Amino acid sequence: MTRLLETGLDLLDAENPHGLPSVKGWNIINGQLTEASDGARFESRNPANKDDLLGNFPRSTKDDVHAALDAAHAALPGWASTPAPTRGQIIGNMARLLIDLKEDIVRLETREIGKTVKESGGEVQEAIDTCLFFQAEGRRLYGQTVHSELPNKELSTYRRPLGVCAIINASNFPAAVPFWKIIPALICGNTVVWKSPKDAPLLSFALARIMHQAGLPDGVVNLVHGTGSGAGQHLVDAVDEGRVNKVSFTGSTGVGKMIGEVCGRNLVSCSLELGGKNPLVVMPSANLDNAVEGAYWAAFGTAGQRCTSLGNLILHEDIHDAFMERFMAKVHETRIGDSLHHEGVLYGPMLSEVYAKDFLTGLEMAERDGATKLWGEGRITADSAPSGFVDNAEAGVFMWPHVYSDVTEDMECFMNEIFGPVVTVVKARDFDHALHLANASPYGLSSACYTNDRLEAYRFKTGIKAGMTGINNSTTGAEAHLPFGGVKNSGNGTRESGMWVIEAYSYWHAVNDELSGQLQLAQMDVDEIHTAEATVDWSTLA
């Protein structure tokens, strides 16, 4: 960790298992390490081992958030006027630093939020891929030249930065998602105030340090720590005060709607990536072994703590029993624990006690609905643990995998997201019924259909109301050059990743360059072109 965070940091006098260091973390405002204005701090602990203190961090106040906004506004003119290829070079430097420090970052992420080492590795690679993609976009922020309808006039378009961007991301993807947001914001010439996730402040601090080590000027990216109701709310409130030109948020639909309302009344752009109740359909022609693997990973990878995790598993009635026999065999063998100390685990702990509490509350929906519980006993304890659990239940926040069957679309648990390791199983009579069920929830983020009937595949991908669809693939997974986002209650139509995200962090500027030396008014000064009557004797052509 010392190589990752470099020098000048205080280590806390805390006893940690395995001799791991605890760090005194800071806000980064205008390139300087700063405390909260009132001195308040909070802790970050390993959710797999509550005795493992990673560090403590400033609980930012309104004054701290405003200081960060002041720094971002002051840095905006210089950064916006920096040539885009130069901005791209700095982003390329970030990629190289991430590559060099990848192993350290991966282990830090796994320690702070409990993801498996393999998953953390994939997420950090996604951050690297994002940097490499947008480094090249610095040479491709193209505008257009447009032919005028008047003589001696040039028309052209340019992309311009929006201004100061407020970035608020969730704890479940603390490396990839902030890079999805911050890197395109930077390449377009914007400056940033980033509110780190409360459960991943040390990783966020390390990543922000890397950004500055890459050559980022002071004030271009400012990091503040704290709670969503504290620092996060202060950032959103700053929209009403005219201090924020863009908000990008990943989190719950309820909070996203509130942010959308604030931005809407101020005509401020916002990107909202929200929840999902993602359907996965399995039809009789599918390769069942492949479908079982996809559904199992989509449901329980990351302990089900992905916005793209499988929600409703929709099985054609002809293959329901055969599928469930294979699926439940895998569920019964699920290996759970801290991957820093145990090999071959599918998932680790919940992100925090707060996420664990919300997950258990969500399970109560399925119980109230009368769904049939096939597997799962809530929180793993010393007295209640599946055979595949390989850790210390009392030290961490671990959950059983849960499966509920006999679910119907009139149930609350069919309609609503339960954020954690659970899947609700629904029977479909035929393809039309399956597609109806896949579209029946109020969400529309990700979706999947396993079928080897090409017409069914075509009808699914054209009939589903979702931002993303997998054919013979799981509901999870994203690539840095594809758009990511949803429809309905899963988002407001903006997209992360790929060239499409440039639209979310820039605006089009049309330039009308008059070269004639006189006033020419479009439409009014355009000569009318008259048609002439044809002189052809059409009767001779009969």
What integer pLDDT is reported at residue 17 of this predicted model? 63
Count other C-beta atoms under 10 Å from residue 11's C-beta.
Answer: 12
* Contact assessment for residue 443 and residue 490, using Cβ atoms and an 8 Å cutoff: yes
CB-based contacts of 43, cutoff 8 Å, min separation 6: 53, 55, 56, 57
CA–CA gap between residue 244 and residue 231 (Å, rounded): 14
User: pLDDT at position 18, please?
Assistant: 65
Backbone angles phi, psi at 7, to 5 degrees: -105, 175
Q: Is the pLDDT of residue 208 over 70?
A: yes
pLDDT level of residue 11 (50, 70, 90 thresholds)? low
* Structure confidence at residue 10 as a pLDDT band (50, 70, 90): low
Q: Which residues of 453-472 are buried (b: 16+ CB within 10 A; e: fewer)?
A: eeebbebbeeebbbbbbbbe
pLDDT the model gives residue 467: 97
3-state SS assignment for residue 100: helix
131, 307, 413, 449: the active-site residue: 307
Domain 2-274+496-504 identical in fold to domain 278-479: no
Handedness of CA 254, 255, 260, 266 (dihedral sign): positive
Residue 12 CB coordination number (10 Å): 16
Look at residue 528 in the predicted model and tell me its pLDDT: 80
Assigned CATH for 278-479: 3.40.309.10
Q: Dig out the tokens for 473 from the structure.
A: 């693939």
Q: Examine the pLDDT at 536 and tell me if it is beyond 80.
A: no
* pLDDT at 7 (0 to 100): 47
Domain extents in the chain: 2-274+496-504, 278-479
pLDDT at residue 15, rounded to an integer: 56
Question: What CA–CA distances, in Å, run from 41 to 24, 38, 334, 530?
Answer: 10, 9, 37, 76
Q: What is the Cα–Cα distance from 14 to 52, expressed in whole angstroms?
A: 9
Mean pLDDT of the chain, nearest integer = 95
Tell which wins on pLDDT, 305 or 538: 305
Residue 522: which pLDDT band, with cuts at 50, 70 and 90? confident
Instruction: Give the model's confidence band at 537: pLDDT under 50 very low, under 70 low, under 90 confident, else very high.
Output: confident
Give me the pLDDT at residue 526, please. 81
Cite the beta strand spans of 451-505 per DSSP E: 470-471, 487-488
Mean pLDDT of 122-145: 95
CB atoms within 10 A of CB 8: 7
Q: Answer for the pair 419, 304: CB distance below 8 angstroms, yes or no.
A: yes
Name the percent of the chain lying above pLDDT 90. Answer: 91
Mean pLDDT confidence for 233-255: 97
222: β partners: 193
Out of 3.40.50.300, 3.60.20.10, 3.40.605.10, 1.10.3720.10, select the CATH number for domain 2-274+496-504.
Answer: 3.40.605.10
In which band, very low, low, confident or very high, does the pLDDT at 359 lie, cut at 50, 70 and 90?
very high
206 neighbors 126 (Cβ within 8 angstroms): no
**Rounded CA gap, 280 and 294, in Å?**
9
For the stretch 485-503, pLDDT in tens is 999 999 999 999 999 999 9
What is d(CA 238, CA 232) in angstroms, rounded to the nearest whole number?
10
Specify the 3-state DSSP secondary structure of 450: strand
The answer, yes or no, to whether residue 539 has pLDDT greater than 80, is: no
Residue 263: active-site member? no
Neighbours of 13 (CB within 10 A): 6
Average of per-residue pLDDT across 74-80: 98
Q: Are strands 269-273 and 278-282 parallel, antiparallel or unpaired?
A: unpaired
pLDDT band for 2, please (50, 70, 90 cuts). very low
Q: Which residues pair with 43 in a beta bridge?
A: 56
Return left, alpha or beta for 189; rule: phi > 0 is left, psi -120 to 50 is alpha, else beta. left
* Distance (Å, whole) CA 33 – CA 147: 51
Q: What is the pLDDT of residues 301-356, one digit of tens each?
A: 999 999 999 999 999 999 999 999 999 999 999 999 999 999 999 999 999 999 99
Contact (CB, 8 A) for 275 and 443 = yes
Average pLDDT over residues 181-201: 98
At 211, the pLDDT band (50, 70, 90 cuts) reads very high
Residues pairing with 312 in the sheet: 279, 424
Residue 124 has pLDDT above 50, yes or no: yes
pLDDT at 272 over 90: yes
Instruction: Give the mean model confidence (pLDDT) for residues 98-119.
Output: 97
Give the mean model confidence (pLDDT) for residues 385-404. 97
User: Where do we find the tokens 């991966």?
Assistant: 106
Q: Is the pLDDT of residue 540 over 90?
A: no
CA angle 348, 353, 357 (to 5 degrees): 105
Q: Where does residue 72 fall: left (phi above 0), alpha (psi -120 to 50 degrees), or beta otherwise?
A: alpha
Q: What sign does the CA torsion over 86, 90, 91, 95 have?
A: positive
Res 464 pLDDT > 70: yes
38-42, 132-136, 146-150, 451-455: the lowest-pLDDT one: 146-150
Q: How far apart are the first and last CA of the chain?
A: 89
Q: What is the pLDDT of residue 525?
A: 82
CB atoms within 10 A of CB 100: 13
Residues 41-69: what's their mean pLDDT? 97
Nearest to 43 by CA among 55, 27, 61, 31: 55
Instruction: Report the pLDDT averaged over residues 73-94.
Output: 98
Look at residue 6 in the predicted model and tell me its pLDDT: 52
Q: Give the residue from 176, 90, 187, 272 showing the smallest Cα distance to 480.
A: 176
pLDDT at 4 over 90: no
